Amino acid sequence: MATTAGRGMMALTYAGVLLLLGVILAAIVDPFARQPAEVDSTTEWLARFLFALGAAWLVIGMVAARTRLVRRPGAAAARASWIASTRPWRARESSLGVLPLDRWLMIIVPGGLLVATRVVQAPRDGLWSVLVAIGGWLLFAAVVRLLLGRRSPWPIIAAVGGAIVLRCVFALIAIALSGPEGIWPALWSSPVVRIAYLAIAFALVAWVFVAAGWSLSAQLGRRRAAGVALAGVGVGYALPATTIALLGVGDALRSWNEQIGVLPWDLARMTAVREGALPVEVVTVTAVIGAVITVVGVVLALPQRVYDRSRRG
């Protein structure tokens, strides 16, 4: 019980740190996101439908363990994803005994929701932006697969899949409420609501990597699992900041939004009005910090035999 409570407090601490980083990044990009984009009714209703599907998946995962619902097809997958994403230290336990159908659903549901959310976020970007976003996640999955070797990938699949669903459900809120008759334009005019939304969006993206690393601790050990998480978070913050520093504010933020869709979509139109308002120095420091975190993570994620070889050499 004490260990469980301690891990819970650690998870809350991590979440608090990620939120703090999210607030800093939200304050940086806030000048470029002070006007909500209008959404056509078709997109809005599609976002509402996807939001309902994602929320239903989360709710099933929450209640499946306490009810007979866990016996239904798919309920075990939702339960494993929910537990692994919110309590990643239980990822290995939650994925034990999961049937083949549920294992496929642990991949298909988060992956399908991610692709559909990306299409809804930027319907005018076309298929290329979707492929770029998917390619980034596949690259991360390939690296983790190599690190795992012969070990089971299902704990991290459950953790990352559940975290992706959380992130998509939150992202869909803005689109589902952005229509001409929606309430989001009124809320978006409030600086507190605007920065809070962006901060949580950033934090949820980073939490995907934290949950991934934590879920690997039972298989790779704490050092290597922490390295995977740090490398993922570092890349997640370093790449966008480096892009902004090198390419300039307007073009970089447009590219950033097209690739990962973290910020409110249609950001290209918003940023064009305030070209160059973001201090490049601040972005450069953010990029350097993210790069350092990435390097530290990669070093920690290396197998012990690499360190042994370097010592012999």
Give the model confidence (pLDDT) of 119-158 as tens digits. Answer: 887 665 556 656 666 766 676 677 677 766 777 888 888 8
Residue range 12-40: average pLDDT? Answer: 77
**Contact (Cβ atoms closer than 8 angstroms) between residue 54 and residue 172:** yes
| CA dist 216 → 10, 145, 153, 305 (Å) | 16, 11, 9, 18
Cα separation, 3 vs 157, in Å, equals 24
Asked whether the beta carbons of 163 and 207 are under 8 A apart, the reply is: yes
> Tokens 């993922």 label which residue?
232
Choose among 5, 28, 17: nearest CA to 249. Answer: 28
Q: Per-residue confidence at 70, pLDDT binned at 50, 70, 90?
A: low
> What pLDDT is recorded for position 126?
56
pTM of the prediction? 0.76
Check whether 56 has a pLDDT greater than 80: yes
DSSP 272: G
CA 276 to chain centre: 28
> Is residue 53 very low, low, confident or very high in pLDDT (cuts 50, 70, 90)?
very high
